[in-house]
Amino acid sequence: MERGLSRNTLASYRRDLHRYAEHLAAAGIENLAQVRPDDVTGHLASLRDGGLASSSAARAISAVRGLHRFAVRERLVPHDVSAEVRPPAPPRRLPKALDVDQVNRLLATPAEDTPLGLRDRALLEFLYGTGARISEAVGADIDDLELGEASAALLRGKGGRTRLVPVGGYARTALRAYLVRARPSLAAAGRGTPAVFLNARGGRLSRQSAWTVLHRRATEAGLPVDGPYAVSPHTLRHTYATHLLDGGADVRVVQELLGHASVTTTQVYTLVTVERLREVYATSHPRAR
């Protein structure tokens, strides 16, 4: 709470620490002062042996280390026994981005003659046109949008940070159509929520429902929804960043648009661009092979 973390992050940390408490209890440890470095290492080993992915295990151990740092800071224990325990380094996976043709197919799937079709089109255009996280999109309120000539959206990101991002012409048109022709009829079934994106009952669209929208529309567009290349809620955000960099945008600008606290996080997208350049070279240059 002090760090301003999102509700989803707090829920994840709560699960991680509950699992850690169960591990300690099974070892007969009832107080943090009794914990030794081997206990923390043993917990990490049990997570990996239990089939937890390295990325999830890394987050779980980060939560455990945060707990022990907190205990030292509050003088509940004299030493941080987790200081030397390093979380596993997850394999560096490149984000999977759609190409322009795939994006166009996806955005063309919602029919614009029904309220939900107009909503789905506006949601997909908003995600691709702003690079918003799915939680930022469903968390947006009407007052967060400025749809004039200099269109922009206020997004509320991780850690309580906000940022103002431009809204492109296609997204602006889709949002206007939805707000004028569809949202009033959806809102009539609810209790006056200020949310931009509403469900069929007039309430705020949830992250799970937004994921369902994307899954259904991706299926209609003939895009993969299973396996390693499945279209996920983060796919349009990855695609937004990759297309910006492919178009010559500076990585620092993309960092600001994505709301990344560190440019290091954004630089993974530059690897995608390099891979694409290699593909073009391999298929185009007569001496590439």
Q: Is 234 a catalytic residue?
A: yes
Residue pair 130/122 in contact (Cβ under 8 Å)? The answer is no
| List 19, 163, 234, 276, catalytic entry | 234
The count of residues in the chain is 289
Rounded CA gap, 7 and 107, in Å?
Answer: 30
Residue pair 223/124 in contact (Cβ under 8 Å)? The answer is no
Q: Is 96 a catalytic residue?
A: no
Instruction: Compute how many other C-beta atoms are within 10 angstroms of the C-beta atom of residue 82.
Output: 24
| List 119, 156, 237, 238, catalytic entry | 237
CA distances from 144 to 99, 121, 131, 171, 274 (A): 29, 19, 15, 15, 35
Q: Is 69 a catalytic residue?
A: no
Residue pair 185/155 in contact (Cβ under 8 Å)? The answer is no
| List 133, 217, 238, 243, catalytic entry | 133
Q: Is 269 a catalytic residue?
A: yes
| List 158, 163, 181, 276, catalytic entry | 158
Q: Is 260 a catalytic residue?
A: yes
Reduce the DSSP state of residue 158 to 3 states and report it: helix
Q: Is 229 a catalytic residue?
A: no
| List 65, 121, 156, 260, catalytic entry | 260
| List 20, 178, 240, 269, catalytic entry | 269
Name residues whose C-beta falls within 8 Å of residue 16's C-beta, 6 or more positions apart in sequence.
59, 60, 63, 64
Active site residues: 133, 158, 234, 237, 260, 269
